[in-house]
Amino acid sequence: MAQGNRLGRRAEIPGTRASFPYAFGVTSTGRYPRDVLASDWQRAGRLTSTDLVLEVGLVLEDVTSGFCGAVLRWERGLVVLEDRHGKRRTFPLGAGFWYEGSPVVLKAPPRARSVPTRTASGSVVGPADGAKTALASRIYVEGRHDAELVEKIWGDDLRHVGVVVEYLGGIDDLPGVVADFAPGEGRRLGVLVDHLVPGSKESRIADRVWSGAGRGHVLVLGHPYVDIWQAVKPARLGLAGWPEVPRTVEWKHGICAALGLPHRDQADLAAAWRMILDQVRSWDDLERPLLTVVEQLIDFVTEDHH
């Protein structure tokens, strides 16, 4: 084996002419404090950056430029620093900063969740109240879909005043339902009816209720739409208008067929309604006639409790 100075000594592999510098067997007292062929040698001695949430006034140093300044503000992924001479510079958030002698990764503080100031019906949100005892007064609607729509838009308002909404499953026996409810002072009943137009079956039933017992404490109002679905603005579904359905076809089935939706059974109709209801976000997605009568019914059933 050829001899040279100690640092230049090379080892030959028997049977070959290949050689390489000694790099193994070096102790901690040799040139290298550790095995430089170890897989993590590049990370040796490096400091680990920690996350730092921004606050106004924190003094930071940009590693690349050496600029040192206090945090003035941050927005859209950038932070503005001002040094002691009043000079300002803008830097992107993330790594590449020092804070109190340690590397940090700058993070913007989480945004505070905005508190809604209006309910879905457009009413001003009042102070949070504890649970309220429901009033004796009630609002009845024809079906489940009517109740779900009223809850989505007016639910907060109704809970605030303690009014419960119930659905009837049709109004053919409305006069008997009203008689059983026994409207009176402090026990008002409001009823929302679909397709309440002159000459309709619904209008004749409403006339019987108005002329029966409890007059003055029961109010029947309705909208002109065949079904509550139609009270949703068609534009919310990307339509210029609701499709026309022949009188010989059940209206909901006809609408689903026109929209290309399954309509074999009640489960299909429920899925179609859920799709429609999901497009409703606020009162502005509903037709004005429905908005008007629901507001009138709420005012009516709470009149004795103002």
We report the CATH number of the domain holding residue 298 as 3.40.50
Is the residue at 293 inside a domain? yes
Is the residue at 291 inside a domain? yes
- 101 and 175: one domain? no
Q: Is the pLDDT of residue 1 over 50?
A: no
End-to-end CA distance of the chain: 108
Is the residue at 66 inside a domain? yes
Total number of domains in the chain: 3
Q: Which of 107, 123, 151 is the last residue of a domain?
A: 107
* Cβ pair 167, 285 in contact under 8 A: no
Q: Is the pLDDT of residue 226 over 70?
A: yes
Residue 134: what pLDDT?
78
Residue 37 belongs to domain spanning: 1-46
Chain CA centroid to CA 55, Å: 28
- 185 and 285: one domain? yes
- 225 and 169: one domain? yes
Residue 231: what pLDDT?
97
Is the residue at 121 inside a domain? no
Helix (H) or strand (E) holding 222: strand 218-222
Residue 32: what pLDDT?
43
Residue 115: what pLDDT?
54
- 199 and 215: one domain? yes
CATH of the domain at 77: 2.30.30
User: For the ranges 8-22, 132-146, 228-242, which has the lowest average pLDDT?
Assistant: 8-22
Task: For residue 280, give the amino acid letter.
Answer: V
Is the residue at 82 inside a domain? yes
How much of the chain exceeds pLDDT 70, in percent?
A: 77
Residue 169: what pLDDT?
87
Q: What's the pTM?
A: 0.60
Q: Is the pLDDT of residue 112 over 90?
A: no
* Cβ pair 210, 202 in contact under 8 A: no
- 62 and 162: one domain? no
- 289 and 185: one domain? yes
Q: Look-up: residue for tokens 């002159």?
A: 198
Is the residue at 93 inside a domain? yes
Q: Look-up: residue for tokens 């002691």?
A: 84
Residue 79 token pair: 């932070």
- 20 and 54: one domain? no
- 28 and 73: one domain? no
Is the residue at 252 inside a domain? no
Per-residue buried b or exposed e for 99-135, using 16+ beta carbons within 10 Å of the residue's own CB? eeeebbebeeeeeeeeeeeebbbeeeeeeeeeeeeeb
Please tell me which of 15-24, 113-122, 198-207 the model is most confident about, judged by mean pLDDT: 198-207
- 209 and 300: one domain? yes
Q: Is the pLDDT of residue 149 over 90?
A: yes
- 204 and 78: one domain? no
Chain CA centroid to CA 58, Å: 34
* Cβ pair 34, 41 in contact under 8 A: yes
Residue 218 token pair: 């029961």
Is the residue at 217 inside a domain? yes
Q: Look-up: residue for tokens 């028997």?
A: 14
- 163 and 296: one domain? yes
* Sheet of 97-99, strands arranged across: 50-53, 102-107, 97-99, 59-62, 68-75, 78-82, 88-92
- 167 and 295: one domain? yes
User: For the ranges 33-37, 60-64, 172-176, 296-300, which has the lowest average pLDDT?
Assistant: 33-37
Task: For residue 213, give the amino acid letter.
Answer: A
Which residues lie across from 276 on neighbouring strands? none
